[in-house]
Amino acid sequence: MIDKNIGFIGIGNVGSKIANNLLKDGYKLFIHDLDKTQATSLINNGAVWSDSVSNLISQTSIFITCLPSPRSVNEVILNALPFLNNNHLWIEMSTTDEEEIKKLSKLCLKMGTDTLEAPITGGQHRAETGNISILVSGTRKSFNRSFKLLSSIGHQILFCGEIGNATTLKVVTNYLASINLLAIGEALMVSKKYGIDLRTVFKAIKISSGNSFVNETETQLILNGSYDVGFTMDLVCKDVGLFDKLTDKFSIPADISNIMKAIFEEGKIKYGDRALSTSIVRRLEEFCKEDLRASGFPDKLVDNEIKKKGIEVKI
C-alpha cells in the first residue's frame, strides 16, 4: 500500500519540524492542533488544515500524533476511534505512558487499525533537518509499511519489538539526559569556582570519558546564557514521573530518580512550567552567586549536516 495522504496531530515545537520534513518529501499533509495559529507556516508550505480529528482521519491512511502528554494522546485517539478502519495506521511519536499506549493500540486494533509507537530522540535541531533518531515498536509489517515515511523524518531508525518497548526506551533515555543535565551544572560550577575558563572546561569534558550528548548540546546553551533547548520544565517532570512509574511497577529502588524529581519539581515551581529545562542550572548560579557564561557559544543549536538517508539500525 502506498500512503500519500498523511495526517499530523500536534504541531508544537517538535511536531511542526517533523511535519515540515514530510512536506519537503512530497507527502500531502493534513494537520490539526488545538491552536490553529501554530499551523500558519505549515499551511503556507502546502499543508491542509483540518478543523477536527474526524475530518483529518477521513482523508488520510497514516496519521501521526505528537502531543505533550498521555492525557492528550488518550483524548485524540478516543475521538478518532469511530472513524478508523483497516486502511489506517496510527504512528504515535509523543513521549507517553507504556500502559496507555498498549491500551489504546488494542482499541485501535478492534477497529482494524494497527499502531506503531515511534518516539524521536536527539534534539530539536536534528528534528528540523530530519537527522533525528527514531525508536519504533509494533508489528514488523507496519514498520515496513511506514519505513519510507519514517526515513523522511529521521536518520537512525531502530526497531525495538513489541508495543511498549519504544515508549519505555524513550522514557529511559530522557531520564538519563535529565540526570546528565544536573550533573553538568554541578561540574561547570566546580570548575568556575576553581577558576578554570569555561571554554576549556567544555573542551576538556568533550574529549574525556565524561562526555555526553547533553554536554555537546545543552552545555553550549548554558554557557551562552540563552538556555534555549526548546524543552520545558513541565515536560521533564512528566518524563521523570513516567520513569518513576516504571520503577514502582517493578519495585526497583530509585534513589537517584527521587532526588532528581525533587530538584526539577522545585525548578518548575520557582521558574514556571514553561521555563526551559536547562534553566534548572540557574538554581546553582543563584545559590553560588556565579554565572556560567563563556564567549563563543551559540544561543540556539543548529544541525549543519545535510539530511542523511534514513537507515534501519541493526541489532
What is the model's pTM? 0.95
5-163: CATH number: 3.40.50.720
pLDDT at 2: 77
Domain boundaries, the chain: 5-163, 168-288
pLDDT at 30: 98
Which residues in the chain come in under a pLDDT of 50? none
Residue 91 grid cell: 504512528
pLDDT above 90 covers what percent of the chain?
A: 98
Angstrom distances, CA of residue 20 to CA of 11, 128, 208, 228, 288: 10, 8, 37, 21, 43
pLDDT at 145: 97
Intrachain domains 5-163 and 168-288 with the same fold: no
pLDDT at 220: 98
Question: pLDDT tens digits, residue range 129-144?
Answer: 999 999 999 999 999 9
Whole-angstrom distance, CA of residue 127 vs CA of residue 86: 30
pLDDT at 1: 62
Q: Which CATH class name applies to 168-288? A: mainly alpha
Judge whether 281 and 289 are in contact, CB under 8 Å.
no
